[in-house]
Structure 1
Amino acid sequence: MNIKVCGLRDPENIKQVVDLRPNYIGFIFYDKTPRFVNELPVELLKAIPATITKTAVFVNETAENIETLIAKYNFDAIQLHGNESPAFCALFKSKVKVIKAFGLNADFDFTELSAYADHVDLFLFDTKTSIHGGSGETFDWSVLNKYDLDKPFFLSGGLSVDNLDEVKNITHPQFYGVDLNSRFEIEPGLKNIDKLETAFNLLKQDDTNEIRS
């Protein structure tokens, strides 16, 4: 079970989350969300261990700005959370890991993902809303049974300490990991470390990696 903690922006809070050793850590470069990072100390991000995949999150951003931020902060992955095309994803596939996010509901057409399959490394399935993630709302996870591509996916949208036991019951062969965000916050962009520790221990309890107590 891979764990991604997303929506960080406070330097001290980032250090605390890094100490938990998530697999991915996400920074949102979208100025219409309260989790918008704006500016972060470059050395802070470059000091994050190589075992953690540093991920920049964008919504309908220009390729030029994405390239600039990848170079500035030495990102390992990008997450595209808007209406980006397969061709747009392909621009970055040889440079960083590419995660393409989609908002799901009962009517989602999984066939549209086929065009992206060769141009991304992972999908991220979130709850379909008008705000491009961070809603704190879940979707009906049974729709995941309709997904039949050979491409791993993150599960996002309303994940919390209260429903992670249910998450562990998901048996889809491409289920790669969870994206933890708004339900683990003191306020937007500031994570509750106690809640995250509880989640990490629950999700990793069958893993050989020791989690900080």
Structure 2
Amino acid sequence: MRDPENIRDVLTLQPDYIGFIFYPASKRFVGSSFDANWMAQLEGPNKTGVFVDADEEQVNSYIRQYGFHAVQLHGNEAPAYCARLKATGTTVIKAFGIDERFDWARLGEYEHTADYYLFDTQSKQHGGTGMRFNWKLLEGYTFEKPFFLSGGIGIENIQEALKIDDDRLYALDLNSKFETAPGIKDIELLKQTLQTINDE
């Protein structure tokens, strides 16, 4: 997210997390002039900075500047990189792009260096495609760490997502299917969907 008015509207819906993308190649990039003082004062959800292979010192600077509670890492960040960020007290969400060729065993390297995993659809743009992966592939996940489910979740398949019988499923990432434009959320659609989730 990046528009202050839209952010305020989303906050009234009381989401658990709210994300801000600091990847310049993304069409949802917050930009270089985002008001850090305004954002640092936001209260309620876990403010999450989203990064792709970003310089570690820069990430730490953003954590301090914007008051992030969590970072979501969508690149090829090494386990040691994640561990150092986690040691600062910041929640680390390590994202992985999933397809039929994904090697679930590689997650073992991150078992002690990430707080959560995020499983998204494999793509060259590191997420944000609005496309879902085959959720049956989650049967290959053998570790205990809780995970966020991402990639193409929308009003048309939210019920299917809610029926995934896996105690490790921690959160649903509601993004591109809930936008009126990149980075701008459809408040009424989000409200309707969150009500559906709360009713389950």
> Is TM > 0.5 for Structure 1 vs Structure 2?
yes
CA distance in structure 1 between the partners assigned to 2:42 and 2:159 by the alignment? 29
Alpha carbons 2:99, 2:134 under 8 Å: kept: yes
CA distance in structure 2 between the partners assigned to 1:11 and 1:167 by the alignment? 30
Q: Which residue of 1 aligns with 2:66?
A: 73
Match of 2:123 among 113, 126, 129: 129
Structure 2 residues not aligned, in runs of 5+: none
CA distance in structure 1 between the partners assigned to 2:68 and 2:40 by the alignment? 8
Alpha carbons 1:135, 1:158 under 8 Å: kept: yes
Q: Which residue of 2 aligns with 1:53?
A: 46
Q: Which residue of 2 aligns with 1:15?
A: 8
Q: Which residue of 2 aligns with 1:113?
A: 107
- The 5 Å alignment of 1:145-164 reads 145-164=139-158
CA distance in structure 1 between the partners assigned to 2:61 and 2:41 by the alignment? 19
Q: Spell out, residue by residue over 1:71-124, the C-alpha distance to the aligned partner (whole angstroms, 9 max, x if none).
A: 101100001000101011011112200000000011211000000010000000
Q: By how many angstroms is 1:48 displaced?
A: 2.1
Secondary structure of the corresponding residue to residue 196 of structure 2: helix
CA distance in structure 1 between the partners assigned to 2:115 and 2:198 by the alignment? 23
Q: Which residue of 1 aligns with 2:56?
A: 63
Amino acid at match of 1:44: W
Q: By how many angstroms is 1:46 displaced?
A: 2.1
Instruction: State the TM-score, normalized to the length of structure 1.
Output: 0.91
User: Number of residue pairs matched?
Assistant: 198
Could you say which structure has the greater relative contact order, defined with CA pairs below 8 angstroms and 6 or more residues apart?
Answer: 1
Q: Spell out, residue by residue over 1:132-168, the C-alpha distance to the aligned partner (whole angstroms, 9 max, x if none).
A: 0100000000010111111000000000011000001
Q: By how many angstroms is 1:43 displaced?
A: 3.1
Alpha carbons 2:40, 2:65 under 8 Å: kept: no
- Alpha-carbon RMSD across the aligned residues, in angstroms, is 0.9
CA distance in structure 2 between the partners assigned to 1:148 and 1:86 by the alignment? 18
Alpha carbons 1:28, 1:57 under 8 Å: kept: yes
Instruction: State the TM-score, normalized to the length of structure 2.
Output: 0.97
1:196 and 2:190 matched = yes
